[in-house]
Amino acid sequence: MKITLLHHTPLVVCANAIRTCWQSFDKSDHGGEKDKELIDRVGNKFKHASTLEHLVYTFYIQGISRALLQELARHRMASLSVKSTRYTLKELKHEAPFTASDQERAEKYLVFTGIEIVDTMSIQALENLRQVLQSGISNDKAKYCLPESYKTELTWTINARSLQNFIGLRSDKSALWEIQNLAKALYDHLPEDHRYLFSDFIKA
């Protein structure tokens, strides 16, 4: 998978939101150590967590499976714009037939597990889909035989409060392995000065 952080809110915006409550704007150090301590104290320690909603992150996430997408979409406090199979399946139509030995070529379309029998069956499903498309069936109908391993990508926007919840739940070893990888990769792609807000939530 590939993660790109497209945009994030500077910490000073959250500090100003907090300072609105006490009108203590003159105490701000414009997103420096004083503001960082304030955000952690109010947002995390005092559990006035709605203040963390002023920090928003937009990621471009590529190369995840539709199995992962299904779990990601359960996080309601986030916004998703996902690559549409209805409009993009034609990319597969002009491919040569896939056989089990075409793992490298198939990797453009599939997330592999490293388990041989699963990955071979995935390639077989990809080949089935390619044949359906070649026979002239529309994307709208052909998509019903997509394997869950089929790769997708999306723009994902989430605020810091919800991202803490996501990272806490999904970096845990009880979560799906691929979403664990995503949670850890998202953490790694956070701006360095924001990471401290999430370090208590990430599981090793």
Ligand X SMILES: Cc1cc2nc3c(=O)[nH]c(=O)nc-3n(C[C@H](O)[C@H](O)[C@H](O)COP(=O)(O)OP(=O)(O)OC[C@H]3O[C@@H](n4cnc5c(N)ncnc54)[C@H](O)[C@@H]3O)c2cc1C
Active site residues: 170
Establish if 56 lies at the interface with ligand X (CB under 6 A).
Answer: no
User: How are beta strands 78-82 and 151-159 bridged, if at all?
Assistant: antiparallel
Q: What are phi and psi of 179, to 5 degrees?
A: -75, -30
Residue 68: CB minimum distance to ligand X, A: 12
User: Is residue 75 part of the contact set for ligand X (CB under 6 A)?
Assistant: yes
Closest by CA to 82, choosing from 65, 105, 106, 57, is 65
The binder of ligand X chosen from 100, 145, 169, 185 (CB under 6 A): 169
Residue 140, amino acid: D
Taking the CA atoms of 123, 129, 130 and 132 in sequence, report the sign of the dihedral they define.
Answer: positive
Smallest gap from Cβ 64 to ligand X, in A, equals 16
Token pair 């691929």 in the structure block, residue: 178
Element (H, E) at 38: helix 33-39
Determine how β-strand 78-82 pairs with β-strand 56-65: unpaired
Q: Does 3 bind ligand X (CB under 6 A)?
A: no
Among 94, 141, 173, 174, the residue binding ligand X under the rule CB under 6 A is 174
With respect to ligand X, which residue has the nearer C-beta, 74 or 141? 74
Q: How far is the CB of 95 from ligand X (least distance, A)?
A: 34
Q: How many residues bind ligand X (CB under 6 A)?
A: 10
Terminal CA-CA length for the chain: 19
* Nearest-CB residue for ligand X: 76
Please tell me whether residue 134 binds ligand X under the rule CB under 6 A: no
Please give the residue ranges that form the binding site for ligand X (CB under 6 A).
74-77, 162, 165, 169-170, 174-175
